[in-house]
Amino acid sequence: MEVAVLSIAGEDTGKKVKLKKSIFGVEPNDHAIYLDVKQFMANNRQGTHKTKERSEIRGSTRKIKRQKGTGTARAGSIKSPIFRGGGRTFGPLPRDHSFKLNKKVKQLARKSALSYKAKSQAIVVVEDFKLEAPKTKEYLKFLNNLKISEKKSLVVLNEPNKNMYLSSRNLQGSKVLTVSELSTYEIMNASNLIFVESSLNSLQKDDK
């Protein structure tokens, strides 16, 4: 599959790049995508939610009423979960939500996601360029030239570019990443993928 290389102005440069079938033309595996996205979201969970148990509640330890003769159930502590202000029974505790996923499954998931985007013609390739200064206006003009400013977009760079990152930060529907940061979740979350030539070459070169 060949894709035309566009300029920053959105015009056809006359050049074409070939998308490797081993990356952009595999048979998509939906379950692999599900597992990789699930792991990505699980790894981003803080897992710091916590409630106090009765041993952690501050309060008196005296027996609040006599054992018998009150006509109500016996009670030994004001910190009991049955009383207001007492500890919570089986409440959440800090935990690590991350889990292991085999490398080959993650590779299959990313290739499956890229293949879906290639099949739906949602991949755009542009010439390498750099913004001279961090200006959201210039970045938005770039997206308008490609006619994707109204859609969720993901720009994939070969190397980190601070100006590109700062220019896109205020736009809710656009994100800038490097090839090494590209994940299945980010690919599936975007409507359009915008590769600069060097990032696409690097992605296809690293494929084994």
Question: Does the domain spanning 2-46+98-205 belong to CATH 3.30.2400.10?
Answer: no
pTM for the model stands at: 0.82
Per-position pLDDT tens, the chain of length 208: 788 888 888 888 888 888 999 999 999 999 999 999 999 999 999 999 999 999 999 988 899 999 999 999 999 899 999 999 999 999 999 999 999 999 999 999 999 999 999 999 999 999 988 888 899 999 999 999 888 888 899 999 999 889 999 999 888 889 999 999 999 999 999 999 999 999 998 998 877 5
Whole-number pLDDT of residue 99: 94
Q: How distant, in Å, are the alpha carbons of 17, 72, 125, 127, 156 from that of 200?
A: 9, 74, 8, 11, 8
Give span(s): CATH 3.40.1370.10, the chain: 2-46+98-205
Close Cβ partners of 102 (under 8 Å, ≥ 6 residues apart): none
Tokens of 150: 């109204």
